[in-house]
Structures are given as C-alpha cells and as structure tokens.
C-alpha cells in the first residue's frame, strides 16, 4: 500500500514568482522523510505539489514531474481528487470539522469519495482508523461527541485518523506538531513511527530534534535571498545530515547558526 515517490525537475510558481526551483528527489516507500529549512524556503509549497493541493491556490502551478508508484500524478486526465485520496494531508493546526462528531470526522473523507458505506462498515473504519491513529482507547466511549471537544493533541490524531481512513498510500504532514504541547508532540512522533510500517510519510518540521527522532531521510531547503526561489540544498539519510552534512548551509542550519 505504500508507494515510492519520484520528483523530477519540479518548479513551483505563484503567478510569475518562482517559489521552488528544480527539485529532484526520490522518496522511498515505508519511510519517513523530513523537510527542514528556514521559513519561506518553500517547504509547504513543495509538500502541496505532492498531492496537487497547490491547485486550489489561484495562480499556483507546478512544472516537472511527480511519479508515485510509476504513475505521474500530473499526467493528462489524472483527477486531482483521486490523487488526494492516494496522498493524504495533515496540516499545522488540527482542523476537525467542528460540528461533526468524532466518528463522523473520521468518515468525512470516506464520504467525500462518494462511497456508500453500511453502518457496520462505517463502525469498522472508525475503529480501525482511530486505532491506527493511537486515539481509540481515549475516545471509544464518546464517539458521538463533537471532534472539537477533544484536546489539541487528540484533535491532531483525529485528523490523522481522518487522513488514513481512506487508506492512502502516502501521508503528508505540514508541521503537524507546531500547535501542540510537548507531550502531545511525543504522542504524534510515536504515531509517525508506527505509521511508517504502512505508509510513506513526508513531514515538514521546524523542530530539528523532531526531524532527527522521526525521520529516515532529511531534505534541507534554503533560499539564497529575498524573492529568490527555494531549493533543495541537501538530501541524505538523517544520520548523515545531522552528523556530517556535505553542505555548509545545512550544517549552519542544523546547528542553529542560522537566521
């Protein structure tokens, strides 16, 4: 279920502005890839192109190719809705649908896909997904309460449950812990560690310790200056990136000697 991602010569624009320049990277299945780099260097922009989410932003466009398990997600005739089902996304702020119950939140994506599901199938998906997100034990007795009644960390795990309920191949996470307290952050990190048995995970993080703890490979993005495009400066195993990076800018950023 977990798929390799091949990005080749990817450029991403907002109108005339080149935000991300010429990224080529291979992401292995069943691995965690961390994307790091200073604010504004295009990490979120790059991440969104992995499931064509940037297309909801007026003027945003990508050139180059993103091939997931042999299928170019930008090929003519490819439906972005299908791409987003295969490649789920979790955002910085937990965003459960506030009026929906916990169970309905988990099923929201499944229902969007227009799949008719029986009550018992729905219950199975809810339990499987909440177990998968390490949330089941905490909420199994109150599946009918609003998702918004959970703590921030629980809400983020609910969003992860919603993302995995559609059985994606890849899960993208854009700073999923930046709004969470340290305990909730560790719970999400544990979860990421478990999820990589089944999914290919790409996570943007500002937290160097987190990148070092959760990821197998790390990509460092940087910008040469204001209004310059973000570029992938170095991409290697996390161990190498954090112990002996090839690039001085990588070393400066990782060791905190950086703006």
Ligand X SMILES: Nc1ncnc2c1ncn2[C@@H]1O[C@H](COP(=O)(O)OP(=O)(O)O)[C@@H](O)[C@H]1O
In the complex, which residues of this chain contact ligand X (CB under 6 A)?
A: 14, 19, 37, 39-45, 57, 230
> Residue number with the shortest CB distance to Mg ion?
44
**Between the CA atoms of 67, 71, 73 and 77, what dihedral angle is there, to the nearest 10 degrees?**
150
d(CA 203, CA 216): 11
* Closer residue to Mg ion, CB minimum distance, 44 or 156: 44
Categorise residue 145: left if φ over 0, alpha if ψ from -120 to 50, beta otherwise: beta
Binding partner of 45, given Mg ion, ligand X, none, CB within 5-8 angstroms per partner class: ligand X
Binding segment toward Mg ion, per CB under 5 A, in 25-33, 37-45, 79-87, 221-229: 37-45
44 touches Mg ion (CB under 5 A): yes
Distance in Å, CB of 207 to ligand X, minimum: 14
Contact pattern from residue 152 through residue 171 relative to Mg ion, giving x for each residue in contact according to CB under 5 A and a dash for the rest? --------------------
Distance in Å, CB of 226 to ligand X, minimum: 8
Distance in Å, CB of 41 to ligand X, minimum: 4
33 touches Mg ion (CB under 5 A): no
Beta pairing partners, 218: 34, 236
Binding partner of 57, given Mg ion, ligand X, none, CB within 5-8 angstroms per partner class: ligand X
Binding segment toward Mg ion, per CB under 5 A, in 36-44, 182-190, 206-214, 218-226: 36-44
Q: Is the separation of the CB atoms in 51 and 78 below 8 Å?
A: no
d(CA 24, CA 219): 11
- 228, 227, 218, 225: which is closest to 250 by C-alpha? 218
- 153, 147, 142, 165: which is closest to 105 by C-alpha? 147
d(CA 158, CA 148): 10
Q: What is the Cα Rg of the chain in Å? A: 18
* Closer residue to ligand X, CB minimum distance, 10 or 103: 10
Distance in Å, CB of 46 to Mg ion, minimum: 9
Binding partner of 229, given ligand X, Mg ion, none, CB within 5-8 angstroms per partner class: none
Distance in Å, CB of 240 to ligand X, minimum: 22
Phi and psi at residue 196, to the nearest 5°: -70, -10
d(CA 100, CA 214): 31
Distance in Å, CB of 89 to Mg ion, minimum: 13
User: Where does this chain bind Mg ion (CB under 5 A)?
Assistant: 44
């Amino acid at each position: 279920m977990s798929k390799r991602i091949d990005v080749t010569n990817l450029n991403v624009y907002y109108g005339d502005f080149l935000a991300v320049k010429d990224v080529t990277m291979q992401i292995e299945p069943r691995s965690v890839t961390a994307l790091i780099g200073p604010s504004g260097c295009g990490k979120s922009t790059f991440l969104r192109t992995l499931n064509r989410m940037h297309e909801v932003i007026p003027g945003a466009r990508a050139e180059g190719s993103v091939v997931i398990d042999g299928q170019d997600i930008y090929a003519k005739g490819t439906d972005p809705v299908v791409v987003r089902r295969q490649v789920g996304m979790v955002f910085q702020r937990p965003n459960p649908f506030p009026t929906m119950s916990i169970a309905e939140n988990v099923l929201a994506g499944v229902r969007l896909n227009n799949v008719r599901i029986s009550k018992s199938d729905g219950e199975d998906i809810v339990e499987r997904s909440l177990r998968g997100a390490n949330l089941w034990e905490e909420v199994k007795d109150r599946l009918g309460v609003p998702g918004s009644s959970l703590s921030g960390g629980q809400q983020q795990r609910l969003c992860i449950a919603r993302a995995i309920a559609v059985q994606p191949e890849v899960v993208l996470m854009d700073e999923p812990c930046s709004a969470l307290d340290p305990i909730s952050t560790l719970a999400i990190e544990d979860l990421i560690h478990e999820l990589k048995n089944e999914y290919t995970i790409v996570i943007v993080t500002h937290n160097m310790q987190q990148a070092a703890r959760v990821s197998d490979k790390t990509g460092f993005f940087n910008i040469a200056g204001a209004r310059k495009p973000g570029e992938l400066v170095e991409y290697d195993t996390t161990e190498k990136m954090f112990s002996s990076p090839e690039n001085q800018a990588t070393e400066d950023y990782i060791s905190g000697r950086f703006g």
